[in-house]
Amino acid sequence: MSGLRRILTATAAVATMAMAMPVQAETLSDALVDAYRNSNLLEQNRALLAAADEDVAQAVSRLRPVISFAANYLNRRTLLDESPTSAVVGRRSTVEQTTLDLALEMVLYDFGRTRTSIDLAKETVLATRAALLSVEQQVLLEAVRAYVTYRLTQEILGFRQNYVSVIGEELRATRDRFEVGEVTRTDVSLAESKLAGANADVAAAEGDVRVAREAFRAAVGRYPGTLAPPPRSPKLPSTVQGAIDIAHRENPAVIRQQHLVSAADLNIALAEANMRPTISAQGSLGTSSGAGDTVDYNARSVGVSMSQVIYSGGLLSSQKRQAQMNREAQRALLHETVLQLEEDVGAAWAQLEVSSVQIAANEAQIVAARLAFEGLREEAKLGARTTLDVLDAEQDVLDARAARAQSEAERYFRVYQILATMGRLTAEDLNLGIPTYDVTGYYNAVKKAPIGSWQGEQLDRVLKALGKN
């Protein structure tokens, strides 16, 4: 039996055993679901989004009155005269007083300062939601990479192990031929050298599998089991321009930057509003009671005031200019983000096409290498070829198969990379069939600035779901 036939027979035997085993292989969807559920990076950014939601609540709170109170207790003893000639030696005066004051202050009109702050906080929330979506895509793309890479390293390890088996048989055959004088000691040494090199390649491939296994755990949150072949890759637009057009509309990095530009515009409006006056209403209620020489009283007051900074040493003007420069920076960054996105889509698309061409070339290489191996094997039997020629031909078959596996893995990953640049690599877009995080849930619960979860069941449910209650 030839070496190539032994490879094919061993591969078929392994496949038959695999089909007979009732092992449930893990799918790519399983890995993506676990990556989504186990990601600490997603948890971090969800918390950051909730923190940004609270900025809206804090801005809304400025429309409401501020109520404060102060309570004081005073006990004062005063020695009137301790001189020997005084008629009232050692007489003391005692004063005890308790005061309670309740104050209320509310902004009546601030020329849009508070409303602008609310709009600014909302734009920041929208930008943070887009950032969370970018992180989700990053997490899922890394899970795809880890899945494909782990399967690839296992496949290459299988190739290497089969090659070691073939080389071992070749070595035994060469030694037998050496015993009968058909080949020289040099042929035996060449076969031994090839076997040693093949064993070294197996060790390296085993190391690659272990590294890929750890990368899988980091990306998915657990170690891999038996992985099923990846499913058919999702459909892409027919042209790279179609992918770019979708990316312009849906890529979360672009959406985030658009909201940051809007926030920068609002920062300018806020800086202008800070130069205007504030009209406020105040009210207070106070009471005092005591003993000794104190005077009891009850007092109440109501008033309206207007305040404005007349001179700040150029601070307010500087803040406005700073806001204008920040807006220009954000606009420039938006243009750069779009350009970088177009480059990323184009590069991933080109790599996808290259991988497809490489697969076709690898197929042709495999066919040619097999034919060459079979021919050299027959010629070696006739003494026209050396053992080294046959072993080199076997190595060529192995290298061609490994190259095809590499190209197929590369092409598969590039499809998902393009989806990510388009903004369509999310749990919802991939139809993973699991409950996804509601980016509006916490916001809707706190946007009206409740004092606590007791004010509404919705906030209580959201906090409980987040594990924060």
Pair of tokens at residue 237? 């637009």
pLDDT band at 55 (very low <50, low <70, confident <90, very high): very high
Mean pLDDT of 362-370: 88
Q: How far is CA 405 from CA 154, 235, 351, 450, in A?
A: 11, 21, 16, 57
pLDDT of residue 187: 81
What average pLDDT does range 316-320 have in this prediction? 93
Percent of the residues in the chain that have a pLDDT greater than 90, as a whole number: 57
- Between 466 and 41, where is the model more confident? 41
Q: Which residues pair with 284 in a beta bridge?
A: 103, 301
- Statement: residue 428 has pLDDT above 90: yes
pLDDT computed for residue 463 by the predictor: 63
Burial level of 200, CB count in 10 A (0-12/13-18/19+)? exposed
Q: Which of these ranges, 61-65, 126-130, 140-144, has the smallest mean pLDDT?
A: 61-65
Question: pLDDT tens for residues 153-199?
Answer: 999 999 899 888 888 887 888 788 788 887 788 888 888 888 898 89
In this prediction the pTM is: 0.82
What is the pLDDT at residue 464? 66
Can you give the pLDDT at residue 193? 87
- Mean pLDDT is lowest, of 64-78, 146-160, 219-233, for 64-78
Q: Tokens 């186990």 identify what position?
A: 38
* Per-residue model confidence (pLDDT) at position 342: 96
More confident residue, 246 or 169: 246
Residue 4 has pLDDT above 60, yes or no: no
What gap in Å lies between CA 338 and CA 126, rounded to an integer?
A: 18
Residue 16 has pLDDT above 70, yes or no: no
What is residue 117's predicted lDDT score, i.e. its pLDDT? Answer: 94
3-state percent breakdown (helix, strand, coil) of the chain, nearest 5: 65, 15, 20
Query: Is the pLDDT score of 2 beyond 70?
Result: no
Task: Kindly tell me the sign of the dihedral angle through the C-alpha atoms of 43, 47, 48, 52.
Answer: positive
Position 388 scores a pLDDT of 74
Distance CA 4, CA 105 (A): 89
User: What rounded mean pLDDT belongs to the chain?
Assistant: 86
Answer whether 349's CB lies under 8 Å from 391's CB: no
pLDDT in tens, 374-420: 888 777 777 777 667 777 788 888 888 999 999 999 999 999 999 99
What is the mean predicted confidence (pLDDT) over 272-279? Answer: 92
pLDDT in tens, 96-123: 888 899 999 999 999 999 999 999 999 9
The rounded distance, in Å, linking the Cα atoms of 456 and 294 is 47
Residue 457 pLDDT exceeds 90: no
State the pLDDT at residue 432.
93
Q: Are 67 and 455 in contact (CB under 8 A)?
A: no
Q: Is the pLDDT of residue 222 over 90?
A: yes
Confidence of residue 5 (pLDDT cuts 50, 70, 90): very low
Spatial CB neighbours of 231, under 8 Å, sequence gap ≥ 6 = 27, 28, 29
Residue 351: per-residue pLDDT: 94
Mean pLDDT over 198-215 rounds to: 94
The reported pLDDT for the residue numbered 114 is 93
Task: Output the pLDDT for position 218.
Answer: 96
Mean pLDDT, residues 54-67: 92
Residue 130 confidence (pLDDT) above 60:
yes
Q: Kindly indicate the confidence band of residue 20, based on its pLDDT and cuts at 50, 70 and 90.
A: very low
Token pair, residue 69, equals: 């109170």
